Chain A
Amino acid sequence: MKNKILNIKNLSKSYGAFKVTDEITIDLHFDEIHALIGPNGAGKSTLIKQIVGSVKHDIGSIILDQEDITDLTDVERAKIGISRTFQVSSIIPQFSAIDNIVLSLLDKSSKTFQLFKSINNNKELYSNAKKILMEIELLEKSDISASDLSHGDRRKLEVGLALAMDPKVFLFDEPMAGLDESGTNMMINLFKKIKSNSPILLIEHDMDAVFALADRVSVINNGKIVATGTVDEIRRNELVRDVYLGYEI
């Protein structure tokens, strides 16, 4: 228990008779990237939504850093250290890239309710935002409106928003979808770097990226975890090959 920062037990969610997640038990250790893979519709994104609190679970518990967060709201969970990216890019389209990052820094710096001081004069916030943009290789596009960024750059910006929160855990939902090779490599290097500060629960369909990054992999199918293990264990697992990976990997 001591080396687990996130511990999810028997988390279930049903819509009528359809079980989207079925007694899922999964954990995230300090310093690790735990990948969650599975076919489309398996329940991966619903699990993320349950962890962040935007979808209410039916039963189960969620412990973050030894604190029971099961009954907390989505905002409270974000405040105490759960940071996420969305499967479909979710940014503030009319803000520039740097303003998106600054928005993400507001709560941490207790600036949300600063009513009359011009945000543009807050050099500290913008300087911190620039550091994040540099990390995600978007510094030269800092003043471009987020809606004018390419798909790949929006994915990077999403990760930047999560980074800015300096959370206890990251929940990344397909962060590499639509990225070109250099973008994917940038993400892989970035994730390797940040996992020591904040471990990552990673949903990803790019198996090369998953195998390059993951310390452990869990496979979800029809709302159930069917296997958990190291990359090699998962690669060799017959059931996983049947339901998801196939036999060519």
Chain B
Amino acid sequence: MIVEKIFNKWILFFLFLIPVLGFIFEEPYYITLTTKVVILGIAGIGLNLALGYCGLISFGHAAFFGLGGYVTGILSFHALSSEIMFSWPFVTSGSSDMLVIWPIVILSSAFLALIIGLLSLRTTGVYFIMITLAFAQMLYFFAISWPNYGGEDGLSIYMRNSLPMINTMDPLTFYFICLCWLLIVIFISAKLINSSFGMAFQAIKQNEERVKSVGIETFKVKLLVFVISGTITGLAGSLYTDLNRFISPSVLNWQMSGEIMVFVILGGIARLYGPLVGAAFFIVLEQTLGSYTENWQFWLGLILILEILYVRTGILSLFEKKLKYEK
């Protein structure tokens, strides 16, 4: 049996290989598809930190994904149209520079996650699921009723945001930008999971009462995990807007939260590369089954049921026997 670490290296190898082959054979469609896998994988890795490793079943991560997307879209929209975005406390008409947009996305996603976390982490179980869902739906309906930025029709940006000395409009170049972010996110997540902080949040998932009894402030730990998780998913939302050059309220919908959750469950809960594998599997399924039938989601549902019944710990568990904290 192939061990998971080797399989993970193969995943990274294919993430390099497929877009390069797409470039060589002039098939940009495959580059775009792989870019989508990478971006949605980042979103899933973000959720996996909260859900998989800390047991926080958030059904509202679309809020962060959508916020990241809208912040990117709005900043870019104003920059490209030279419209003033706001004039107090300083005048700005947005930005189309990724080096400006990314920090703003990271800060705004972290802030939103902090607010949602502060309120929702007072609850547990099904109440936590419902309250996170409610926050995302609030933002969804707000976006729909916000005509300045397209309302229900969404917001188009005509040029992908830029990076100094790099042609981001080139699909392969933009792909490698996303891949860099994926590697950074994987690196940060791996560091967190193996740290003492990681030990604390993985213990909370298993037995919060015990963790409290040894003097660890579980609320603070969960809040920080939730903020980091929301921030990573927000960053993915930003990249997604740049990939499509379009953002609409659909990315804030509960269905998006559900899809991100499906990536995590399909690939393997509490497995570092799990959401990436889940996203790849989901998109390949969407593309292949989608070409045969409109009801491809029915078959996805069936696969999910079979997976939960027979391979409960996700696709990656087929390649690995035991992780440090897993039975």
Could you list which residues of chain A lie within 8 angstroms of chain B, going by C-beta atoms? 52, 54, 74-75, 78-79, 83-84, 86, 90-95, 99, 102-104, 106-108, 111-120, 122, 125, 145, 147, 161, 164-165
Give me the 9 closest cross-chain CB pairs, A-B, nearest first. A107-B215, A78-B215, A79-B215, A111-B196, A104-B214, A116-B191, A119-B196, A114-B196, A92-B203
| A106:B194 contact, CB within 8 angstroms | no
Closest CB of chain B to A158's CB: distance in Å? 9
**Are A112 and B210 neighbours in the complex by a CB distance under 8 Å?**
no
> Which of A75, A102, A125 has most B Cβ within 10 Å?
A75
Minimal Cβ-Cβ distance residue in A for B224 = A113
Residue in A79, A119, A161 whose CB lies within 8 Å of B199:
A119
Partner of A119, one of B195, B206, B211: B195
Say whether A94 contacts B327, CB under 8 Å.
yes
Q: A99-B325, A164-B214 are in contact. List 8 more A-B contacts (CB 8 A).
A: A84-B213, A93-B206, A103-B211, A106-B200, A107-B214, A114-B195, A119-B198, A145-B327
Q: Which residues of A contact B213 (CB under 8 A)?
A: 52, 74, 78, 83-84, 86, 90, 161
Residues of B within 8 A of A (CB): 191-192, 194-200, 202-203, 206-207, 209-218, 220-221, 224, 325-327
CB proximity of A55 to chain B, nearest CB, Å: 12
Q: Report A21 CB to chain B, min CB distance, Å.
A: 20
Give B170 Cβ to nearest chain A Cβ, in Å: 34
Residue of B207, B212, B217 near A93 (CB, 8 A) is B207
Give A99 to B203 CA distance when docked, in angstroms. 10
- 20 intermolecular pairs with C-beta atoms under 8 Å apart: A83-B213, A90-B209, A90-B213, A92-B207, A92-B210, A94-B206, A95-B206, A102-B196, A103-B199, A103-B200, A106-B199, A107-B216, A111-B196, A112-B221, A115-B192, A115-B197, A117-B195, A117-B196, A147-B327, A165-B214
Residue of A nearest to B219 (CB): A75
| CB < 8 Å neighbour of A118 from B194, B211, B218, B327 | B194
Q: Give the one of B195, B214, B216, B218 with max A CB within 10 A.
A: B214
Beyond A54-B209, A90-B210, A92-B206, whether A118 also contacts B195 by CB under 8 A is yes
Q: Check if B214 sits within 8 Å of A103, measured CB to CB.
A: yes
| Assembled-state Cα–Cα distance A83/B217 (Å) | 15
Provide the bound-state CA to CA distance between A118 and B326, in Å. 18
Q: How far apart are A201's CB and chain B's nearest CB, in angstroms?
A: 15
Q: For the complex, give the distance between the alpha carbons of A94 and B218 in Å.
A: 18
Name the CB-closest residue of A to B192: A115
Contact partner of A94 among B194, B198, B325, CB < 8 A?
A: B325
- Nearest residue in A to B326 (C-beta to C-beta)? A94
- Contacts of B327 on A, CB cut-off 8 Å? 93-94, 145, 147
A74 in contact with B212 given A91-B207, A95-B203, A115-B191 (CB within 8 Å): yes
**When the two chains form their complex, are residues B197 and A114 in contact, meaning their CB atoms are under 8 A apart?**
yes
- A114–B192 alpha-carbon span in the complex (Å): 9
Contact of B325 among A78, A95, A112 (CB under 8 A): A95
Pick from B194, B207, B325, B326: contact of A90, CB under 8 Å: B207
Given known pairs A91-B207, A145-B327, the reply for A75 and B196 (CB within 8 Å) is no
B214 near A78 with CB under 8 A, answer yes
Interchain CA distance A93-B325 in the complex, whole Å = 9
With a cutoff of 8 Å between Cβ atoms, the chain B residues found around residue A94 in the complex are 206, 325-327
What residues of B have a CB within 8 angstroms of the CB of A161 in the complex?
210, 213-214
Contacts of A79 in B (CB 8 A): 215
**Partner among A91, A99, A114, A117 whose Cβ is within 8 Å of the Cβ of B210:** A91
Closest B residue, CB atoms, query A116: B191
The distance in angstroms between the C-alpha atoms of A125 and B199, with both chains bound, is: 13
Alpha-carbon distance between A78 and B210 when the two chains are bound, in angstroms: 11
Bound CA–CA A92/B191 (angstroms): 21
Residues of B within 8 A of A91 (CB): 207, 210
* Distance of A37 Cα from B213 Cα, bound (Å): 23
CB distance from B168 to the nearest CB of A (A): 30
Contacts of B325 in A (CB 8 A): 94-95, 99
Residues of the B chain whose Cβ atoms lie less than 8 Å from the Cβ of A114: 195-197
**A102 cross-chain contacts in B, Cβ below 8 A:** 196, 199
Of B194, B196, B217, B325, chain A has the most CB atoms within 10 Å of the CB of B196
Q: Chain A: which residue is nearest B323 at the CB level?
A: A94
Contacts A94-B326, A94-B327, A147-B327 known; A112 to B207 CB distance under 8 Å? no
Asked if A75 and B215 make an inter-chain contact with CB atoms under 8 angstroms apart, the answer reads yes
User: Which among B200, B203, B207, B217 is the interface contact of A75 at CB below 8 angstroms?
Assistant: B217
| Closest Cβ neighbor of A74 among chain B residues | B212
B145 to chain A, nearest CB (A): 39
Which chain B residue has the least Cβ–Cβ distance from A102? B199
Say yes or no: A120 contacts B194, CB within 8 Å.
yes
* Beta-carbon nearest neighbor of A117 in chain B: B195
Give CA–CA (A102, B196) in the complex, Å.
9
Nearest CB of A to B117, in Å: 16
Given A78-B215, A145-B327, A147-B327, are A112 and B209 neighbors across the interface (CB < 8 Å)? no
Contacts of A113 in B (CB 8 A): 197, 220-221, 224
